[in-house]
Structure 1
Amino acid sequence: MTDRLTQLQDAVDQLAQQFVAAVHFVHKRHDYQTLGPNDKVREVKPEEMQQTIDPLPAEDFQAGLSELSRDLITKEQQIEYLISMLPGLQNSEEDQEKSIKELEEDLKAAEAQRLEALKEKDEILAELDRVIQSIHRP
């Protein structure tokens, strides 16, 4: 499993990609409409329109916007959760050092167990080798 900072960086990268996808969707799939009383929609030739945008029906466009919005909110919440899991201001430097020392002790204990298991394995292999060598054919 990757560390929290890598997960956070991946999530931020994914959020940026989602923003780009959302802007691209809005740019390519919107329909022309006026926003104010003085606005005018310029006439676009059909072949020009196909190159620039491919409008969706209003309901489909709104559904797409809703889905993209939900995805962005979900990713933002995931990022917030990952950030909350990082050691921060609530953990003082002393607390972090204490946690590191405890982890070092756990690592030393695990290494001692590993070395003991290797030693036991070698002893068992040596015993097995002696037993095999002591067997004679009748």
Structure 2
Amino acid sequence: MDRLTQLQDAIDSASVPMARMFTNSIYYVHEKSNMVQLDPDIPVLNPKVQADPPEVFQANLQELVTDLVKQAKEIDTLIEGLPGIERTEAEQNLQENASPIP
């Protein structure tokens, strides 16, 4: 499989799950974060009942971030393996037909 096909497959297989993961992450932060008092004169009257404890929230947030970054880096690695525009078409074809990125 050539590099462009690998990249297209990676984007196709990651775009929907990555978008879903991103929206789920935003939902999680919105729903499970704890209320924080920003002004000493304005107390938090109704704290979120469903908020996770701070240590659980931070651990889950770190996992969500790690998953998103991992998928983005996999796509970046494939993009970096593509021939650059500073090369001729013949040089690009030679590199494209070289062994695919693992």
- After TM superposition, the score normalised by the length of structure 1 is 0.53
The structure whose Rg is larger is 1
Question: In structure 2, how many angstroms separate the alpha carbons of the residues matched to 1:62 and 1:80?
Answer: 26
Question: In structure 2, how many angstroms separate the alpha carbons of the residues matched to 1:12 and 1:86?
Answer: 19
Superposed CA deviations along residues 63-114 of structure 1, whole A, max 9, x for unmatched, are 10111111122112112111112233253223235x4xxx7xxxxxxxxxxx
What is the aligned counterpart of 1:59 among 55, 60, 66? 55
1:90 to 1:12, Cα distance in 2 relative to 1, 3 A: farther
Identity of aligned residues (%): 29
Q: Secondary structure at the match of 1:10?
A: helix
Does residue 80 (structure 1) correspond to residue 95 (structure 2)? The answer is no
- Which residue type is aligned with residue 28 of structure 2? F
Q: Which runs of 4+ in 1 moved over 6 A?
A: none
Question: In structure 2, how many angstroms separate the alpha carbons of the residues matched to 1:71 and 1:31?
Answer: 23
- After TM superposition, the score normalised by the length of structure 2 is 0.67
Higher helix share: 1
Superposed CA deviations along residues 2-38 of structure 1, whole A, max 9, x for unmatched, are 9222223433443322211110110111122223445
Unaligned runs of 5+ in 2: 98-102
The answer (yes or no) to whether the contact 1:11–1:78 under 8 Å persists in 2 is no
Unaligned runs of 5+ in 1: 104-138
Question: In structure 1, how many angstroms separate the alpha carbons of the residues matched to 2:21 and 2:67?
Answer: 8
Question: In structure 2, how many angstroms separate the alpha carbons of the residues matched to 1:8 and 1:90?
Answer: 24
Does residue 17 (structure 1) correspond to residue 20 (structure 2)? The answer is yes
Instruction: For CA contacts below 8 A with separation 6 or more, give which structure has more relative contact order.
Output: 2
Deviation at 1:56, TM superposition (A): 0.8
